[in-house]
Homo-oligomer: A and B are copies of this chain.
């Protein structure tokens, strides 16, 4: 049976199952969420109003046994950026949705009454149930309560208190195989789910399976593909140290934004590095390797225990550690882990919130380095929705505006992540031109600027950066449509067998004859679709710029500024 669109109308509390329109049939993941948002959402609508839609789509390969294919895409118009938005994450939901025969879930409208709901999805459709017990509860209590109350093994998509309060940094979390969380973190999609008053969604695929048109070809392609992944040295480093392997590498490059983007290196980098973290995990009996979804062969996630050997947090990522660590000058990994866990429980983007904290530190709200202060503000202010909590919960730009600060690292109002664009210039092009605000995952030039993956483009010169970012953004948009984790890109860039094997997987799944050109065309189509939405929403080239201070304040130790002209940046779109 062909996959279907499961549509949920929160205004009249009805649900339908619809055939997939021909235009959407070839799409999955980000390609599908962006296609649907562009087709059905008025670009100038209020992101928290009745006319925005939340679209959830597994990737083209999700639910199959293809390695690393378990990412779930969630899209909408973003309350943080005002742009179109897609954020993807691991967990088990993508696979369960695919097995339930879901091409995409489209959630539209706003409830008429001031009541909360949960959605229960099976292959037969979606039921909308009033929810009272778990309103106001954290994500972990919510997951646990659902697990304890049901016999079936369910995937769960959940909203924390930040999303209930419609904070613009609220994320949407997805249960991982062990009851931990993965988050569609960026752009405040949780506020959209909160505006629709949905506390959680359970997915029960029953005995559903994903049909593969050519099982033998599929199996063979997957073998080649998985081998390429596990053989790549970056995959291996990620498995050994997690994403946090990057702290020392980026610090060494002079591009580790520190003390609210005033330095490119952090004195305390050793204390928060992946190496220190791996040792600490080992000493305390945590897990150095952990997969966010079944079938992952890289396993960059981990479980970080406290000094008593009790789990403190999991999925403890470089970006969060950098943001609370270097950017806020906190050199105590336990404080960072505690804050990470609180943010996961609140359901709030740990990048946005931590970058916001650094701006709040510059505003004098708390001293740089005060990791306990961060945890206190998260618990006492953000969790309770005080004035300060809402300022921080609404993101970096909100903090900057609220306190009249000018050094505010955002593009399109989304906080800039863990690579300073003055010292790693390619990523600056990605931040500036991304259709979704500052986001390293949209075109991860760090691969080629720093890790020498896919060749080498000197991070400190302007030459070649626009082309690098363009090629990576196009490839990423395509990868984000497959359900694949972005970390397949390292192997795809270096191992000539990897990308053909990925294409073979798609061809075998659907009985198609796609080529590499089709992949490029898909990526270009997605970027252009997203950009057209943004232009209709009122965005212009003036929005494709970094904040002023990157052009005027040299970053130590290289003492460099970002010096691309507007015209140079705009050549990104020459395709």
List chain A positions with a Cβ less than 8 A from chain B: 43-46, 48-51, 79, 165-168, 191, 194-195, 381, 386-391, 394, 398, 401-406, 536-543, 545, 547-549, 552
Contacts and interface: CB of A to CB of B under 8 A. Distances in A.
Contacts of A191: 404
Contacts of A545: 44
A396 to B, nearest CB: 13
Contact of A46 (B43, B49, B536, B548): B548
B543 A404 contact: no
Which of A191, A540, A543 has the most chain B CB atoms inside 10 A of its CB?
Answer: A540
Contacts of A542: 43-44, 536-538
Given A401-B168, A404-B79, A540-B540, A46 B547 contact: yes
- For the complex of A and B, list the 7 residue pairs with the smallest distance between their C-beta atoms, beginning with the closest: A387-B387, A166-B404, A538-B542, A387-B388, A390-B402, A49-B406, A46-B406
A401 B404 contact: no
B390 A389 contact: no
**Main SS of the interface on chain A?**
loop
B391 A402 contact: yes
A165 B390 CA distance: 18
Nearest to A537: B542
A386 B365 CA distance: 10
Nearest to A79: B404
B548 A45 contact: yes
A404 B167 contact: yes
Contacts of A387: 381, 386-391, 402
14 contacts: A44-B542, A44-B545, A44-B548, A50-B552, A381-B387, A386-B388, A387-B387, A387-B388, A387-B402, A390-B402, A390-B403, A398-B401, A536-B542, A538-B540
A168 B404 CA distance: 8
A147 to B, nearest CB: 29
Contacts of A549: 46, 49
Contacts of A386: 387-388
A543 B538 contact: yes
Contacts of A552: 50
Nearest to A543: B538
A390 B391 contact: yes
A192 B191 CA distance: 32
Contacts of A403: 166, 390
A48 B406 CA distance: 6
A451 B469 CA distance: 59
A543 B538 CA distance: 7
A291 B457 CA distance: 68
A168 B48 CA distance: 23
Contact of A391 (B166, B391, B547): B391
A383 to B, nearest CB: 14
A355 B536 CA distance: 28
A50 B549 CA distance: 10
Nearest to A44: B542
A403 B51 CA distance: 19
User: Could you say which of A195, A389, A398 has the most chain B C-beta atoms within 10 Å of its C-beta?
Assistant: A398
A479 to B, nearest CB: 30
A548 B79 contact: no
A346 to B, nearest CB: 15
A554 to B, nearest CB: 15
A396 B547 CA distance: 24
Given A538-B539, A538-B541, 14 more contacts: A44-B545, A46-B547, A46-B549, A49-B548, A166-B403, A166-B404, A167-B404, A168-B401, A195-B406, A381-B387, A387-B387, A387-B390, A390-B402, A539-B540
